[in-house]
Amino acid sequence: MKPGSVFIDHTTSSPDLAEKIAEALAAKGVGSVDAPVSGGDIGAKNGQVVSMCGGLKEHFDRVEPLMMHYSKRVKLMGGPGKGQHTKMANQIMIANIMMGVSEAMIYSHKSGLDIADMIELLSGGAAASFALSNLAP
């Protein structure tokens, strides 16, 4: 990359790796923003991902307008690696939700419920979630 440019890393990796990437690029005069996303393939196809960013504010400010073209939310969470830490918090939350939705699908099937009706109904109440509305069907 050319000096003065900014690298956007949308992979999900370790915060330590994001810090190493930022250091290596800084040595070459290149900025870095670690920006893992949430929203899955559905969010990506619809340009509705959430980008969790780590890096220097000056680098983030340069790339935020670009990321807003394919993200419904973009936020700088702190220095290099903080985007990856935010993604980890996201994954911890999602794991619990996904386990609950999976168990509910199995229970509903075994109970003889109409799964589509159950999903539609519960998506309007306290059990509503991205996983229930978008992944369970």
| Active-site amino acid positions | 87
Rg (CA), the chain: 19
On the CB side of 31, CA atoms within 13 Å amount to 18
Task: Give residues with Cβ within 8 angstroms of 82, minimum separation 6.
Answer: 15, 34, 53, 54, 55, 76
DSSP 78: S
